[in-house]
Chain A
Amino acid sequence: MKGERKTRLGSLKKGDQALITQVGNAESSIELVERLLEIGILEGSRVEVVHEAPFGKDPIAVRVRGSLVALRRHEANAIEVEIL
Chain B
Amino acid sequence: MGNEGIENNFQMRNPQPQVALAGNPNCGKTALFNAITGGRAKVGNYPGVTVERKEGHVLTASGLNLSVLDLPGTYSLDARTPDELITRNILLGIQTNEKNPDVLVAVADATNLERSLGLVFELCLIGKPIVLVLNMMDLAKKRGLELDLEILSQQLGVPVIPTVAVRKNGISELLYQVERLLASESAKRTLLEWKKPTTQEIRQRFAEIDRILALCTRQMPRPTVWTDRMDRVVLHSFFGPILLGLIFAAIFQVIFIWATQPMEWIKSAMNQFGRWVGLWMGPGPLQSLITDGMIAGMGSVLVFLPQILFLFTFILLLEDSGYMSRAAFLMDRLMGKVGLNGRAFIPLLSSFACAIPGVMATRTIENRRDRLITILVAPLMTCSARLPVYSLLIAAFIPNKILWRGIRLQGVVMFLLYVFGVISALLVARVLKGTVLKGKKPLLLMELPTYKWPSPKNIFIGLIERSKLFVRRAGTVILSVSIVLWFLSSYPKPPQSQIPRSESAISYSYAGRIGKAMEPWVKPIGFNWKIAVALIPGFAAREVMVGSLATVYAVEGKSEEPSPEALPKTLSAQLSRDWSLATALSLLVWYVLACQCLSTLAVTRRETGSWKWPAFMLTYMTGLAYLGSFLTYHFAVSLGLG
A interface list, Cβ under 8 A from B? 24, 30-40, 42-43, 50-59, 61, 63, 65-72, 75
Contact = CB atoms under 8 A, between A and B. Distances in A.
Contacts of B199: 24, 30, 33-34, 37
Contact of A38 (B76, B221, B446): B76
Contact of A42 (B119, B203, B445): B203
A66 B237 contact: no
A58 B237 CA distance: 11
Nearest to B196: A34
A55 B228 CA distance: 21
A59 B329 contact: yes
CB-based closest 3 A-B pairs: A40-B115, A54-B237, A55-B333
Contacts of B223: 63, 66
A43 B207 CA distance: 10
B203 A75 contact: no
Contact of B202 (A38, A52, A71, A75): A38
Contacts of A40: 114-115, 118, 206
A37 B202 CA distance: 7
B26 to A, nearest CB: 9
Given A30-B199, A43-B203, A66-B114, A54 B444 contact: no
Nearest to A57: B237
A59 B444 contact: yes
B330 A38 contact: no
A36 B231 CA distance: 23
A11 to B, nearest CB: 17
B75 A35 contact: yes
Given A42-B206, A53-B330, A55-B334, A67 B325 contact: no
B206 A37 contact: yes
B515 to A, nearest CB: 49
Contact of B235 (A36, A61, A72): A61
Interface centre among B231, B325, B447 (most CB of A within 10 A): B447
A61 B329 contact: yes
A45 B128 CA distance: 31
Contacts of A30: 199
Given A31-B80, A52-B237, A67 B443 contact: no
9 contacts: A37-B202, A40-B118, A43-B203, A52-B237, A54-B236, A66-B220, A68-B447, A71-B444, A75-B443
A63 B330 CA distance: 17
B329 A70 contact: yes
A52 B448 CA distance: 13
Given A54-B238, A75-B443, 20 more contacts: A24-B199, A33-B199, A34-B199, A35-B76, A35-B443, A37-B199, A38-B118, A39-B115, A40-B118, A40-B206, A53-B237, A53-B330, A54-B330, A55-B334, A56-B333, A61-B448, A63-B223, A66-B115, A70-B325, A71-B446
Contacts of A24: 199
Interface of B: 75-76, 78, 80, 111-112, 114-115, 118-119, 199, 202-203, 206, 220-221, 223, 227-228, 231, 235-238, 240-241, 325, 329-330, 332-334, 443-450
Nearest to B202: A37
Contacts, number: 111
Contacts of A52: 237
A83 B444 CA distance: 24
A59 to B, nearest CB: 5
Nearest to A33: B199
Given A66-B115, A69-B448, A70-B446, A39 B75 contact: yes
Nearest to A58: B333
Contacts of A51: 231, 235, 329
A79 to B, nearest CB: 12
B332 A59 contact: yes
A30 B198 CA distance: 9
B329 A67 contact: no
A53 B328 CA distance: 10
Given A66-B221, A68-B448, A54 B241 contact: yes
Given A34-B199, A37-B203, A38-B118, A75 B231 contact: no
A63 B445 CA distance: 13
A33 B236 CA distance: 29
A39 B220 CA distance: 18
Nearest to B332: A59
Nearest to B78: A34
B544 to A, nearest CB: 41
A42 to B, nearest CB: 5
Given A53-B333, A55-B334, A66-B221, A36 B76 contact: no
Interface centre among A34, A36, A63 (most CB of B within 10 A): A34
A72 B440 CA distance: 14
Nearest to B113: A66
Contacts of A58: 332-333
A34 B447 contact: no
A29 B124 CA distance: 27
A14 to B, nearest CB: 9
Contacts of A36: 445
A43 B200 CA distance: 11
Contacts of B238: 54
A50 B469 CA distance: 40
A41 to B, nearest CB: 9
A34 B444 CA distance: 14
A70 B75 contact: no
A25 B623 CA distance: 46
B221 A54 contact: no
Contacts of A35: 75-76, 80, 443, 445
A71 B203 CA distance: 20
A43 B202 CA distance: 11
A30 B325 CA distance: 25
A69 B115 CA distance: 11
A66 B231 contact: no
A75 B336 CA distance: 15
A1 B40 CA distance: 62
Contact of A66 (B112, B332, B333, B443): B112
A67 B76 contact: no
Contacts of B111: 66
Nearest to B74: A38
Contacts of A57: 237
